[in-house]
């Protein structure tokens, strides 16, 4: 295990592949410089560190079964993310982690899965989708719901098509608006897709997206029959140290970085975060 030997110390990484997702978002495949392997579970995150610039938390977007690397899908919004997009100087890129609890895979096995994502929230769910497709056995049929602001802001466009074709997988997409008027799918928000799904009793769900999306999606899932204990929400709030030391990431009395970032909707509600 290359990473995680010392959670304070970034493991030196090199970017071996960059994929353009949208005008401001790219996926970076990062491999340990020492040739080691990053071991992690879907739903965990890394702290991206660029020497002389700073650090920020980023979800792991690849599956642990993909290879020795981690893939991070990063939106260029500020200092650290811009430095990564520019191409950090040799020797300045590091990752700390993997951090956080990840998805509870035992609670997802053997039942229909409903995965709901908005915007860049599809990144941690991509890790899970790729893992379920590769691991296969033990997992039930999967429904992926994905909402983006515009068609051009959708991530993983080629992969969305391959997921659609995968056995036991349904993909429903929705966009808020279509400036180019070329979108043939529905417009609206993720909760608007639930009308197509029917009842979901017995299903297990995973949700990740911008904060305003979480409560309406959880509510739609509950109305369709999924219990709050069976809904896992990956929270992407403010964070600093990532290891339970600085106190920047409290929701109620829970620390998102170490108790989360994945909480059941039941727990999130009891913490006052839903
Ligand atoms: C657990 C977790 C997982 C995340 N996963 C991803 C991911 O997979 N891909 C990705 O692109 N981003 C992800 N983020 C968000 C990412 O950490 C922030 O965008 C990042 O901190 C920006 O760092 P910066 O130095 O580039 O920007 P800064 O210079 O620090 O800030 C630039 C702008 O972004 C805003 N900002 C900073 N942090 C956040 C935040 N957490 N949410 C919303 N706005 C913020 C600031 O207010 C400011 O306007 C994740 C956050 C968390 C907590
Ligand atoms: S980010 Fe520092 S305690 Fe959670």
Q: What is the pLDDT along the chain (274 residues), one digit of tens a residue?
A: 444 557 778 999 999 999 999 999 999 999 999 988 989 999 999 999 999 999 999 999 999 999 999 999 999 999 999 999 999 999 999 999 999 999 999 999 999 999 999 999 999 999 999 999 998 788 999 999 999 999 999 999 999 999 999 999 999 999 999 998 889 999 999 999 999 999 999 999 999 999 999 999 999 999 999 999 999 999 987 788 889 999 999 999 999 999 999 999 999 999 998 9
Residue located via tokens 């020492």: 34
Note the ligand closest to the C-alpha atom of 99: 1
**Residues sharing a CB contact under 8 Å with residue 136, sequence separation 6 or more, in sequence order:** none
* Ligand 1, atom 5: closest residue by C-alpha: 58
- For residue 110, how far is its CA from the centre of ligand 1 (angstroms)? 34
- CA–centroid distance, 6 to ligand 2, in Å, is 16
174: its two tokens: 């929705």
No. of helices (H) and no. of strands (E), the chain: 6, 14
Distance 248 CA to ligand 2 centre (A): 5
Structure token digits, residue 246? 């600085």
CA of 252 to the centre of ligand 1 (A): 21
CB burial of 21-47 (b: ≥16 within 10 Å; e: otherwise) equals bbeebbbbbbbbeeeeebebbbbbbbb
Task: Write out the two tokens for 219.
Answer: 């509510």
Mutate-to-test residue for ligand 2 from 100, 239, 263, 273, highest number of ligand atoms within 8 A of CB: 239
Ligand 1 binding pocket (C-beta < 6 A) is 45, 54, 56-59, 73-75, 77-81, 120, 123, 236-239, 261
Measured between alpha carbons, how far is 256 from 227 in angstroms, rounded to an integer?
A: 22
Distance 167 CA to ligand 1 centre (A): 35
Q: By alpha-carbon position, which residue is closest to atom 38 of ligand 1?
A: 238
The ligand placed nearest to the CA atom of residue 54 is 1
């Amino acid at each position: 295990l290359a990473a995680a030997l010392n959670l304070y110390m970034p493991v030196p990484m090199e970017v071996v592949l960059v994929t353009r997702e949208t005008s401001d978002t790219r996926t970076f495949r990062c491999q340990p410089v020492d040739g080691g392997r990053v071991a992690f579970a879907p739903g965990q995150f890394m702290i991206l560190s660029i020497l002389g610039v700073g650090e920020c938390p980023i979800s792991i977007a690849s599956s642990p079964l993909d290879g020795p690397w981690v893939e991070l899908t990063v939106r260029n919004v500020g200092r650290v993310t811009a430095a990564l997009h520019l191409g950090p100087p040799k020797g300045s890129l590091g990752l700390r982690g993997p951090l956080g609890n990840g998805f509870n895979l035992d609670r997802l096995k053997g039942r229909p899965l409903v995965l709901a994502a908005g915007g860049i929230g599809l990144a941690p769910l991509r890790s899970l989708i790729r893992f379920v497709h590769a691991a296969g056995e033990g997992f039930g049929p999967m429904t992926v719901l994905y909402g983006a602001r515009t068609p051009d802001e959708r991530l993983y466009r080629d992969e969305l098509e391959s997921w659609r074709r995968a056995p036991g997988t349904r993909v429903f997409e929705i966009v808020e608006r279509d400036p180019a008027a070329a979108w043939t799918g529905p417009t609206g928000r993720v909760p608007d897709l639930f009308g197509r799904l029917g009842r979901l009793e017995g299903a297990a769900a995973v949700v990740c997206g911008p904060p305003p999306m979480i409560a309406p999606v959880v509510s739609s899932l509950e109305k369709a029959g999924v219990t709050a204990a069976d809904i896992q929400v990956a929270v992407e709030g403010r964070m600093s140290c990532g290891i339970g030391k600085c106190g920047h990431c409290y929701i109620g009395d829970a620390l998102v970085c170490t108790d989360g970032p994945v909480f059941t909707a039941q727990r999130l509600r009891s913490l006052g975060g839903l």
